[in-house]
A and B are shown apart, each in its own frame.
Chain A
Amino acid sequence: MSKNEEGSVMIKITDMEKFYRTEEVETIALNKLSIHVKTGEFVAIMGPSGCGKSTLLNILGMLDDPDEGSYIFNGIEVAHFTERKRADLRKHNIGFVFQSFNLIDELTVFENVELPLIYTGVPSSERVKRVEEVLDKMQIMHRRNHYPQQLSGGQQQRVAIARAVVNKPKLILADEPTGNLDSTNGNDVMELLTDLNEQGTTIVMVTHSEHDARYSHRIIRLLDGQAVVENIMI
C-alpha cells in the first residue's frame, strides 16, 4: 500500500459536528469526527443505519455544510464556503454515484451523461467525444438513446457511474452503489470503481456490505457520528 502512504491528503476533516434539529429534538449526526483520505485512496465507510455515513458523504461532496469543525479539500478550507463556491468546486472535482441511480427520467442515457459537461461549459463537439468515450468504457454505448426506465438496474448504475466520471473528477463519492443491484451487477459495479481507482481516482464509498468494502483499501467504521475503528485492507 505504498502508493496510499505516499499520496498527499485530499480530504482532511477535523472535529466535525453536524446536528439535525426539529422543534423538539436535536439529533447529532456527526460528533467531533476527524478523518482524512489521501489522494488515490479507495475508502469504504461503514456503520449501522443512522450513524452519520450519508451525512458525512454529503458534507464531503459539499452538498451539505457542517455545523462545526474543519473540512480541508485539496488544501483549501471549504467548511463554510457559499453555495455558489461549493457548487463550483464540486462540479470540477467530484462525481457522485447513488444507490437509487438518480438519473433524470426525461433525458436519454447520452443526455444524462452529458449533463455535467454542459454545466462545466464544455463545447458541444468535445462533449460528444467524451460522452461516447465513457459510454464505450462502461459498455453501455448501444443504449445511448434509451431512457433510464428502459434499462436494467445494472445498466442504470453504469450510466450513473459514466455520468460521475465523464468530467474526470478527482474524487468519486458512492453511496451504497450496489444497494439496488443483484450480486452479479453489484460485482460489475465494484470492478468498475476499482478500475477507476487504479487509474488514479480517489473513491469514498458508503456501504453496508462487507463484501463490497473488501474492494477498498481502508474501512472507516462509524457509530453515533464518530469513527470507532479503521481497518486497513491487506
Chain B
Amino acid sequence: MIRNYIKTAFRNLWRHKAFSVINITGLSVALGSCMLILLYTMDEVSYDRFNLNKDKIYRLVSTSTGPTGEVSKTASTGMMPGPAFKQQIPEIENFVRLQENSFIVKRGNDVFNQDALYADESFFSIFSFPTLRGDPKTALKDIHSVVLSEEVAEKYFGKQDAVGRVLDLKVNDAFQPFTVSAVVKQSPQNSSVKIKMLVPMKFAQSQFNDTQWFNFFLNTFFTVKPGSNLKAVEAKINSVFNRDAAAQQKEMAQKYGFKDKVKFSLQPLLQMHTSTDYPSDNGLKDASNPVYSYILTGIAVFILLIACINFINLTVARSLKRAKEIGIRKVVGGMRGQLVMQFLGESFILSFIAFLLAILLVQLALPVFNDLANKALAFSYLLSPKLVIGYIAIFLLTGLLAGFYPALVLSGFNPVQTLYNRQYFAGKNYLSKGLVVLQFTLATFFIISTITIYSQFNYLMHFDLGYDAKNVVSVNAAGAADEQKLELFKTELLKNTGIKSVTADQGGRWGTIAHINNGQQTNFDIKHIDEEYLSLFKIPIVKGRNFSKDMVSDSSNSVLVNETFAKQAGWRNPIGQVVDFFYSNKKYNVIGVVKDYHFASLSEKIGPELFSMNPKYPYGNIYIKISAKNSAEALNYIEKEFRQIFPFKPYQHTFIEAQNAENYDKEAKWKQIVTFSALLTIFISCIGLFGLAALSAERRKKEIGIRKVLGASVEGIVRKLSTDFLKLVIISSVVAIPAAWWAMHKWLENYPYRIKINSWIFLLAAALVMLIALVTVSFQSIRAALRNPVNSLRSE
C-alpha cells in the first residue's frame, strides 16, 4: 500500500510541476532558514560547554549600589579577590584571573600589535584548551614565558616549532625577551576565552601590583567544589570582602566620597555568553544578546509558516482535481484514515525533497549568514547529533503542519459527490483567505521594518555630529607621542601640501569625577587635546577662548567644557569657574565653552565633557586632515614620516568617518537580516499567490468563458479576477501596519536620536506589496482572460 502511495505521490508531483516547484521552492527556502537559525541557536547555547569543568566554573561579578539607590553591575574585579577568596573559602577549589592586554611584538625589523591575555598559572587546570606542544602545567610558571595559539606561533615562527624560542615584547620603553613555553590549538569558535597569546599574570603583577579591592579591570574565575551550596559560598565571599576591604572602603569614602555598597556574586560560566547583565567583555569575546536568537528564530518560524501556508492553500485549492481519485479510493475500499495517511505521506515526501534542497541551500548561504550573524559556523556542524535530531524534528513538523489540514479536508470528501462531479467549494474559503492575509501581513510587516531600519540607519549615518570628520585620518601612536615628538611629526607632515592640519588627543574614551561649585561631585568625559583639535574638527567655541600655546597657564591649570557640562553645572557664566580634581589636589579654571558635539556614538545623548591640554599625558591618537585630492599620496607620506619618528611602533591608520560608521555595524547587520527576511517572505508569499491565482483562473474557466461570450472585455475580466486577491492584500496592510508601527516604535526607543515614523513608510510599504501582488496575480488573470471561450466552454 505504501508503495502505491509513494508512486501516486511522485506521479502527482511530476504531473503538476508548477505547483511542485512552488511548494518545494518555498519549503526548501523556509527549511533552509530554519536550519541556519537552529545552527545559530545551537551555537549560542554551546558556548563554553567544551570545558570539562564547565559546571563548576563561575565568574566573580558584582553590583554596586550608590547612596541614592542607583545600581551598576560589573563582571570585572581587581587582582585582590581571586587569591583572597580562594585562601579563605574552603568550597573554592581554584581561581584564575584573565586580563586583556596588547603588546608590541618585534621580530627582526618588523613590529606587530599583538592581543594578549594575562593569565594565572592555574589557567590550564581550570579551562580545557589542549596544548599542541609544551607542558600546560608549567606553561605559565616562568614570569618571562608566553603561550601562543598555533595561528600566532605560525605568524612569528612559520612552520618551525615555536616552543623554546624567544619573542621580544615591548614593556614600557624597551623590548624584553619572552620564551615560548607552549603552543595551544586554535580556540574553539564557541569559546568566550580566545587565546592568541597568554602572558603570566605574575608578570602583570611585577609591573603593577594591585592591592586595591575597589579596582575593576580583569575577569576572575573560580572553580567551586561540586555539591557546594552556592548561596552559602556567595555569603562567605561577601563576608570576607566586607572584612578584608573594610579599611580601604573607609578610606575611599573619606578621600573620594565613594559610598557605594559592593556585593559579589557568582555567575555560572555557561550563562556568561548570553548574559545582558554581565556580558563577556574585558578580554572575553563574542558577548551575545539572546534577543538576537529570539528575533532570528521568530523570522525563521514566520518564513516556515508562510511556506506551509502555500502548501496548504495550493493543496486545498487543487483538491477538486484530486476529488475523483479520492472518490475512487473510497469506493474500492479505502478508509478515511488510510487516505489521511496517504496525503500526509505526500506532504512528507514533498517536505523531504525540500529538506534535501535546503541542505544544499544552507551550504551555499552559510558564508553570507556567518557574515550577517558574526559567526564562524562550518557546514560540518550540521552533522552534530543534536542538530540532526533538531532538523528531523523541523522536517516532521513541516510535513505535519503543511499536510495535516489538506489531508483532513481531502479525505473527508464524499465519494458520491466527487464521482458525480458534484463537489463544489460553495463556502467562502475563509481559512484559505485568512492564510493569504496572514502571509501578506507578515510580508508587509517585514517591508515596513526594512524601510524603517533603512531610514534610521541612513539618519544615523548622515547625522550632523557637530564636527567635521571629512578626510580626517586617525593614526594610532599607542601613547608614544609626547609633546616634542608630536611637534616634530606635525612639522614634518605639514611640509606636504596634501596635509592641511594635524592634532592629537590621548586616545580612547576616559571619564573621571571632580568637584564643582564648592564640593558638588560630578562625573564627565575628559579629553586631553592640543590647541589645534577644535579647529581641525571645526568645533566652535561659543564662549571664552581656545587653548593657546602662548599662555603658559593653559597647559597647567586651564580647561574647556562643553555646553552640557556648563548647563549641568548650572553656570550662567562658565568662564572663570573652577573644576576641582580633588583626588589629585589640582584645580583648573574654565577658559572656554565648546559647542556640544557628538563625541560618542549616537546611541548616547551628549553628556558633559571637559578638555585639558596637560602636556604630562602622552598623546595616543594623532588626527591628520588631508586634502581630498591625492589622498593616497598623503597617506603614503604620513606612513613614511610615522615610521621615521616612531620606530618600533606598528603603523595603523583609519578614516574617522569609517570609524564612526563602525559604531553602526550592528544596525548595518540588522538592516541586512531584515532585508533578507522581507525579500524571502515576499518571494514565498508571491509564489503562493501566483499558484492560487492560477488555480482560481482554472476553476473559473467556465465563468470567464460565459462572461466573454456575453460581452465582457479582457480588462473587465482581469479586474474581476485580480480584485479578489487585492482585497486580501489590502486587509493584510490594515493588520500589518499597527503591528509594525508598534514593533518599530519599540525598536526606535533604543535610540536617543531617531527618525519619526512617518505615514509615508506605511503607504510606501502597502503600495509596494500591492504592486508586487498585482503583478503576480495579473499575469494569471490576463492569461485566463485572453483564453478562447470556445475552448473553455467546450471542455465543460
Q: Which residues of A line the B interface, CB within 8 A?
A: 54, 58, 61, 63-64, 83-84, 87, 90-92, 96, 98, 100, 102-107, 111, 114-116, 118-120, 163, 167
**Is there an interface contact between B328 and A120, defined as CB atoms closer than 8 Å?**
no
Task: Please name 12 further chain A to chain B contacts, defined as beta carbons within 8 Å, in addition to the given A91-B333, A102-B324, A118-B4, sorted by A numbering.
Answer: A63-B331, A96-B331, A96-B332, A102-B331, A103-B328, A104-B8, A104-B324, A105-B15, A107-B11, A115-B4, A119-B1, A120-B333
**Is there an interface contact between A115 and B419, defined as CB atoms closer than 8 Å?**
no
**Is there an interface contact between B334 and A104, defined as CB atoms closer than 8 Å?**
no
Size of the chain B interface, CB-CB below 8 angstroms: 24
Q: How many A-B contacts if CB must be within 8 Å?
A: 68
Q: Chain B nearest CB: distance from A168 CB in Å?
A: 13
A54 vs B419: C-alpha distance when bound (angstroms): 11
**Is there an interface contact between B332 and A91, defined as CB atoms closer than 8 Å?**
yes
Tell me which residues across on chain A come within 8 A of B415, comparing CB atoms.
Answer: 63
Complex A-B: 21 CB contacts under 8 Å: A54-B420, A61-B331, A63-B416, A84-B335, A91-B332, A102-B324, A102-B328, A104-B8, A104-B324, A104-B328, A104-B329, A105-B15, A105-B325, A106-B7, A106-B11, A107-B11, A111-B7, A115-B328, A115-B332, A116-B333, A163-B332
Known: A87-B335, A111-B7, A115-B4. A98 touches B419 (CB 8 A): yes
Name B337's closest neighbour in chain A (CB-CB): A84
**Is there an interface contact between A87 and B333, defined as CB atoms closer than 8 Å?**
yes
Tell me which residues across on chain A come within 8 A of B11, comparing CB atoms.
Answer: 106-107
Tell me which residues across on chain B come within 8 A of A96, comparing CB atoms.
Answer: 331-332
Partner pick for A118 among B1, B12, B327, B416, CB 8 A cutoff = B1
Tell me which residues across on chain A come within 8 A of B338, comparing CB atoms.
Answer: 119
- Is B170 an interface residue when CB atoms closer than 8 A count as contact? no
**Is there an interface contact between A64 and B416, defined as CB atoms closer than 8 Å?**
yes
Tell me which residues across on chain A come within 8 A of B329, comparing CB atoms.
Answer: 104, 115, 119
Q: Chain A nearest CB: distance from B509 CB in Å?
A: 71
In the A-B complex, the 10 residue pairs with the smallest Cβ-Cβ separation, listed nearest first, are: A91-B333, A119-B333, A106-B11, A116-B332, A58-B416, A104-B325, A118-B1, A63-B416, A64-B416, A102-B328
Name A104's closest neighbour in chain B (CB-CB): B325
Tell me which residues from 316 to 341 in chain B have a Cβ below 8 Å from any Cβ of chain A.
324-325, 327-336, 338
Partner pick for B7 among A98, A107, A163, CB 8 A cutoff = A107
Tell me which residues across on chain B come within 8 A of A54, comparing CB atoms.
Answer: 420
A63 vs B327: C-alpha distance when bound (angstroms): 10
Known: A63-B416, A90-B333, A119-B338. A102 touches B4 (CB 8 A): no
Name B327's closest neighbour in chain A (CB-CB): A102
Tell me which residues across on chain B come within 8 A of A58, comparing CB atoms.
Answer: 416
A107 vs B330: C-alpha distance when bound (angstroms): 16
Tell me which residues across on chain B come within 8 A of A167, comparing CB atoms.
Answer: 333
Q: Chain B nearest CB: distance from A93 CB in Å?
A: 10
Partner pick for B419 among A87, A102, A105, A116, CB 8 A cutoff = A102
Q: Chain A nearest CB: distance from B687 CB in Å?
A: 24
Q: Chain A nearest CB: distance from B329 CB in Å?
A: 7
Q: Chain B nearest CB: distance from A127 CB in Å?
A: 10
A22 vs B336: C-alpha distance when bound (angstroms): 26
Which of B7, B327, B331, B416 has the most chain A CB within a 10 Å cutoff? Answer: B331
Tell me which residues across on chain A come within 8 A of B420, comparing CB atoms.
Answer: 54
Q: Chain B nearest CB: distance from A19 CB in Å?
A: 15
A102 vs B332: C-alpha distance when bound (angstroms): 11
Q: Chain A nearest CB: distance from B691 CB in Å?
A: 20
**Is there an interface contact between A106 and B1, defined as CB atoms closer than 8 Å?**
no
**Is there an interface contact between A111 and B416, defined as CB atoms closer than 8 Å?**
no
Tell me which residues across on chain B come within 8 A of A105, comparing CB atoms.
Answer: 15, 325
Tell me which residues from 410 to 442 in chain B have a Cβ below 8 Å from any Cβ of chain A.
415-416, 419-420
Q: Chain B nearest CB: distance from A32 CB in Å?
A: 21
Name A166's closest neighbour in chain B (CB-CB): B332
A105 vs B330: C-alpha distance when bound (angstroms): 16
A132 vs B117: C-alpha distance when bound (angstroms): 81
A115 vs B331: C-alpha distance when bound (angstroms): 11
Tell me which residues across on chain B come within 8 A of A118, comparing CB atoms.
Answer: 1, 4
**Is there an interface contact between A119 and B332, defined as CB atoms closer than 8 Å?**
yes
Which of A61, A100, A115, A167 has the most chain B CB within a 10 Å cutoff? Answer: A115
**Is there an interface contact between A106 and B12, defined as CB atoms closer than 8 Å?**
yes
A83 vs B331: C-alpha distance when bound (angstroms): 12
A91 vs B330: C-alpha distance when bound (angstroms): 9
A163 vs B329: C-alpha distance when bound (angstroms): 12
Tell me which residues across on chain B come within 8 A of A120, comparing CB atoms.
Answer: 333
Tell me which residues across on chain A come within 8 A of B330, comparing CB atoms.
Answer: 63, 87
